[in-house]
Amino acid sequence: MAIKFGRPIEARTRLAPVGPAADAERLDLPTRLRRNRRSEWARRMTRENQLTTDDLIWPLFIMDGDNKRAPIASMPGVERLTIDQAVREAARAAKLTIPCLALFPYTDPGLRDETGSEALNPDNLVCRALRAIKKEVPDLGLLADVALDPFTSHGHDGLLRDGEILNDETVAVLVKQAVVQAEAGCDIIAPSDMMDGRVGAIRKALDAANFIDVSIMAYAAKYASVFYGPFRDAVGSSKTLTGDKRTYQMDFANTDEALREVALDIEEGADMIMIKPGLPYLDIVQRVKDAFAMPTFAYQVSGEYAMIMAASNNGWLDGERAMWETLTAFKRAGADGVLTYFAPRVAEKLKKG
């Protein structure tokens, strides 16, 4: 049986009378939704989704050197930081009550090779940054990617042979990379490579090494996307990448496949899951959250950030309002948190009230 709400549509859409008799002949509308929108205090009081600093993970790009910051042309306002500068930003994040940083390295081209061997160096850039930040800001959460693309000469996330990414051989390397990062003080291991079976293998290795309290945030539904371009500029893989990543990252036309990917990662031991990119995949965020009720995160990736900043810098839209609107959209879709380059700007605004 169909359920009908309210009066017939004719009665609800009748035009209000005008003229002297208007006050006496107003529409009989017991529910006027505009009452809750009339003032700022009412809008705040009835708002369904609230963005707080607890929702933010701040990605930082790390480079070698001392006391330097290098702007990233395709990401206005974002810089590569030497470790000492990253420590300063970590202290800033703690003061702003941002709970977690995500670290991404710009690896010297001379240290990149076919197998990404620098990823296993316990004194590599990421590991040194993890130790330095943990020493100075011990209560701040630190997330590190597990993938080989910042370390390989070909720019792919895994081992490459005759143009093919080797799944199982890559997983064996990723397991070692995860343990090295855990030893350096990483709190959340984030496998972003999309190799099959890597979450279970990493969980087993972390537990065997007595890192049972180190969490795994799996890039469970990571799509082969054009929106990663500026990020690849930031980590230095855009010029080295040969071919594309469509054989291991997801097809952007698929949704049911995302649920299968997420289910596998949860079964293998993921503590949290991530959807990447963000805004073009809000439907995936909602489906995943509804289906699994797991801590679910989205990555507002570099291309999304760059588009907003470019439009803002050209005067085509209000960048600050776009920032708030898009980040709130993640919350509305069901995300528990967002990795976003806007994190410090949002946190500063929230702190000021």
Q: Which of 134, 245, 276, 289 is labelled catalytic?
A: 276
Residues linked to residue 298 through DSSP beta bridges, in sequence order? 275, 338
245-289 pLDDT, tens per residue?
999 999 999 999 999 999 999 999 999 999 999 999 999 999 999
Q: What pLDDT shows up at residue 10? A: 43
Q: How far apart are CA 131 and CA 9, in angstroms?
A: 65
Q: How far apart are CA 11 and CA 318, in angstroms?
A: 39
Higher pLDDT, 15 or 60: 60
pLDDT band at 22 (very low <50, low <70, confident <90, very high): low
Q: What pLDDT shows up at residue 23? A: 55
CA distances from 305 to 56, 192, 218, 324 (A): 15, 19, 22, 12
Question: In this structure, what are the phi and psi dihedrals at residue 220, rounded to the nearest 5 degrees?
Answer: -80, -35
Low-confidence winner among 50-54, 150-154, 239-243, 287-291 (lowest mean pLDDT): 239-243
With 60 as the cut, is the pLDDT of residue 20 above it? no
Q: What is the DSSP string of 20-88?
A: TTTGGG----S--GGGGGSSHHHHHHT-S----GGGEEEEEEE-SSSS-EEE-TTSTT-EEE-HHHHHH
Q: Which of 134, 222, 245, 331 is labelled catalytic?
A: 222
pLDDT band at 17 (very low <50, low <70, confident <90, very high): low
Q: How far apart are CA 52 and CA 322, in angstroms?
A: 16
Please say if 204 is a catalytic residue.
no
Q: What pLDDT shows up at residue 19? A: 55
Which has the closest alpha carbon to 68: 89, 46, 83, 90? Answer: 83
* Inter-residue contact 93 to 58 (CB < 8 Å): yes
With 50 as the cut, is the pLDDT of residue 301 above it? yes
Q: Quick one: which H or E segment has residue 339?
A: strand 337-339
Which has the closest alpha carbon to 199: 217, 177, 221? Answer: 217
The chain-wide mean pLDDT, for the chain, equals 93
With 60 as the cut, is the pLDDT of residue 6 above it? no
Task: Record the pTM.
Answer: 0.90
In percent, how much of the chain has pLDDT > 90?
87
Higher pLDDT, 28 or 195: 195
Q: How far apart are CA 249 and CA 238, in angstroms?
A: 16
171-222 pLDDT, tens per residue?
999 999 999 999 999 999 999 999 999 999 999 999 999 999 999 999 999 9
152-169 pLDDT, tens per residue?
999 999 999 999 999 999
Q: What pLDDT shows up at residue 8? A: 44
pLDDT band at 9 (very low <50, low <70, confident <90, very high): very low
Mean pLDDT of 119-123: 98
pLDDT band at 238 (very low <50, low <70, confident <90, very high): confident
Topology of the domain covering 50-352:
TIM Barrel (3.20.20)
| Residues whose CB falls within 8 Å of the CB of residue 273, separated by 6 or more in sequence, listed in order | 217, 218, 220, 221, 262, 265, 266, 288, 292, 294, 295, 296, 297
pLDDT band at 3 (very low <50, low <70, confident <90, very high): very low
Please say if 222 is a catalytic residue.
yes
Go through 36-73 and write b for each residue having 16 or more CB atoms within 10 A of its CB, e for each that does not: eeeeeeeeeeeeeeebebebbbbbbbbbeeeeeeeebe
Which has the closest alpha carbon to 122: 85, 61, 175, 176? Answer: 176
Pairing of strands 69-71, 79-81: antiparallel
Q: Among the ranges 22-36, 117-131, 232-246, which has the highest mean pLDDT value? A: 117-131
Higher pLDDT, 23 or 260: 260
